[in-house]
Structure formats: C-alpha cells, structure tokens
Amino acid sequence: MRFLKKGDDKKPKSQSGSETKGHPDLKVISGSQISGQQPQQQPPPQQQQPQQQNITLPNIKYKIAVASGKGGVGKSTVATNLAISLANAGGAVGLMDADAYGPSIPTMMGIQEQPKVSPERKLIPLVRHNIKLMSIGFMVPEEQAMIWRGPMLHSSIRQLLSDVEWGELDYLIIDLPPGTGDVALSLTQAIPLTGALIVTTPQDVALADVRRGVAMFERLGVPILGIIENMSYFLCPHCNEKTEIFRKDGGKNTSERFGVAFLGQIPLDAEVCTAGDIGVPIVAGHPESPQSEAFGVVAQELETVLEESDDEDELTIL
Ligand SMILES: Nc1ncnc2c1ncn2[C@@H]1O[C@H](COP(=O)(O)OP(=O)(O)OP(=O)(O)O)[C@@H](O)[C@H]1O
Ligand SMILES: [Mg+2]
C-alpha cells in the first residue's frame, strides 16, 4: 500500500506525433495552429516530436477515467448516466469519449452532428442533457477507427483535452476503451487524472479483469476512486423483485479485496439498454426510475470519495 498525493505528476515522459487526420472541419486544428506557435518557432525537422508536456486543465476540478478490464461491461452506459447524475446534482460536467476503437457516447447521448470550430480554432463541445460532449469518433471516419497508428492516437487524445473549449467544469468524465492499452497510457501522459473508476460485472470471472485494470492504473500512478458493479441484478418491472442473475456481490467483494471504495450496483434492465440505443440515457429520460436512482447513488458515493480526498489531499492506491 502506498499513498499518492493528489495531483502528483509521476507520469512518464514520451514523444508525441502530429499526424491527426480526420473530419475536414477538425483538420484545421491539428498541429501548431492551436498551440499558437508561429512557423519560425517550430522545431527543426529532426525534433518535430517534442518532449511530452502535461496538459493541466486548471478549470476542470476532477478528471476521471472510466475503465474496465474487459469489453462490454457497461463503461459507456455508466459514464453517460453517471455524468448526467452528477449534472442533476448541480455539477458542471463534461464527457469525453476516448474509446478510439468503438466510440459510442455520441449515439448514447443522441448526437448526430459534428462539433464546430471557434474563431480561436478550438473545438466547441456539443451539449446534450446538460453535458458538454466530445468524442474521438468525431476525428476519424467510422471505418478508420480500428486502425489507429500510435502517434495519431496519442495526438488525438491530447487534442480532445487541450484543443477543446471545455470551460469551467466540476467533472470531466472520460470513457476509455476496454482493457489496458494505448489510450489509457496516452491519457495519463497528457493530464494528471484525479483517478479512475473501474466498471465490472458481478461474476467471478470478471475478477481477473478488474485486477488487470487496477494494476495498470497503479503502474501509471493513477488512484482508483472506486468500483461500480453493473448488471448486478434484474429488477422485475411488474413486482420490483430483485433477481441475482449472476453471482451476488461479486463487485463488492472484489472492491473489498482490493481495498478500494465500492460505489454501487446498477441493475440489468432492458430500459437502460434501450435508453442508450435511442440517445436518451435513462437518467435523462426517466430520472425518477429505480435504475436512475442507482446511478444517483453511484454519483453520491463518488462525490463523497472525492470530498474525502480533497480533505486529506491524498488518495490511497494499491
Ligand atoms: N445495466 C444495464 N442493463 C441493460 N443493458 C445494459 C446495462 N449496461 C449496459 N448495457 C448494455 O450493454 C451493452 C454494452 O454496454 P456499453 O457499451 O456501455 O459497454 P462498454 O463496456 O462501454 O463496451 P465497450 O467495452 O465495447 O466499450 C450496450 O448495449 C448497453 O446498452
Ligand atoms: Mg464503451
């Protein structure tokens, strides 16, 4: 067990590329134009990949990654509904879709258009359900999303952070692709994250995946803020009876095992799925439903963890 002082910058330095290509509207913002560098200030060709520097985003209080060891456990669903719950509780919230291999947040939030570029050549986030939204999916055609080259991916993640008019935010929720890959690395190299949330399902088999996720963030020096168990139980829409379809309390037991906070359980529910498909997340469409209440509990628990960490100014990681 070791303690990490909040805001510590222990991220490794790396090289960045400048090859982002994508939607025609967005091409204009790549490279030196955004950073305000004049041509004469550019490094000579052999140094075109400068030393990485962290982006600080001082106007964003909490930068939180949503991750999982494996795919399809509900990261994007949780990220979306959690963001809206935090906004409903009065927070100013941004949602960044960093899933380069399957960006799904625009669909889940009901967004079809592309972001516009401001006169200062910054991307203006789209706003839906009171959330500011940007997606890496806006930067490449859909069919290209599976063939990212390392530097291009790295550069796009940085663009989503530094070249977007996020404004003042309490929370920036960042939806990651599944597993332990390049995107998480690029993200942690770019900004000091407040911490990461791990989404899991209750089965025993998910345990190993959670362990991998926790280990990755530990290696990257990012505190784990908590575990969220999704698809925990089936809530009968007729009689409200709970049925534990998978194993009971797997996520809770896992969080105890890893010594991290357990933030709550989200029911397995057809409405949650449909709501994501039609672009009106359940917390936005049915804020009074038991499913939305479950997301509200997670948001509250997260706020508590963050307040405690503010008080102590340090977070415990494994
Ligand atoms: N609690 C839930 N009840 C019912 N369906 C759910 C629930 N959570 C997620 N789903 C559905 O499961 C599918 C996968 O969810 P989602 O896309 O959020 O997972 P993910 O972890 O982000 O996936 P990926 O790893 O591919 O990014 C979606 O169709 C979503 O609507
Ligand atoms: Mg996803």
User: 71 C-alpha vs ligand 1 centroid, how far in Å?
Assistant: 9
Contact 250, 206 (CB under 8 A): yes
For residue 34, tell me if it sits in a domain.
no
75 pocket-lining for ligand 1 (C-beta < 6 Å): yes
- CA neighbours closer than 13 Å in the CB half-sphere of residue 266: 29
pLDDT at 30 over 60: no
For residue 6, tell me if it sits in a domain.
no
Across all residues in the chain, what is the average pLDDT?
82
Give the pLDDT score at 187: 94
77 pocket-lining for ligand 1 (C-beta < 6 Å): yes
pLDDT at 92 over 90: yes
Domain count, the chain: 1
For residue 32, tell me if it sits in a domain.
no
For residue 148, tell me if it sits in a domain.
yes
The alpha carbon of residue 262 and the mean position of all alpha carbons in its chain are separated, in whole angstroms, by: 18
71 pocket-lining for ligand 1 (C-beta < 6 Å): yes
Pocket test of ligand 1: the residue of 273, 274, 282, 297 to mutate, having most ligand atoms within 8 Å of its CB, is: 273
For residues 318 and 315, what is the distance between their CA atoms, to the nearest angstrom?
A: 10
User: 246 C-alpha vs ligand 2 centroid, how far in Å?
Assistant: 21
For residue 288, tell me if it sits in a domain.
yes
User: 225 C-alpha vs ligand 1 centroid, how far in Å?
Assistant: 21
Give the pLDDT score at 53: 52
**Averaged over 273-295, what is the pLDDT?**
95
Contact 111, 133 (CB under 8 A): yes
User: 231 C-alpha vs ligand 2 centroid, how far in Å?
Assistant: 15
CB atoms within 10 A of CB 195: 23
CA-proximal residue: ligand 1, atom 31 (nearest): 273
Give the pLDDT score at 311: 79
**Where residue 153 sits, what CATH number does that domain have?**
3.40.50.300
> Measuring CA to CA, how many Å separate 314 from each of 30, 137, 173, 219?
36, 34, 20, 17
For 254, phi then psi, to 5°, come to: -65, -45
For residue 273, tell me if it sits in a domain.
yes
CA-proximal residue: ligand 1, atom 23 (nearest): 72
74 pocket-lining for ligand 1 (C-beta < 6 Å): yes
Q: Which atom of ligand 1 is nearest to the CA of 77?
A: 18
pLDDT at 246 over 90: no
**pTM as predicted:** 0.84
Q: Which domain holds residue 286?
A: 72-312
Separation of first and last alpha carbons in the chain: 5
For residue 95, tell me if it sits in a domain.
yes
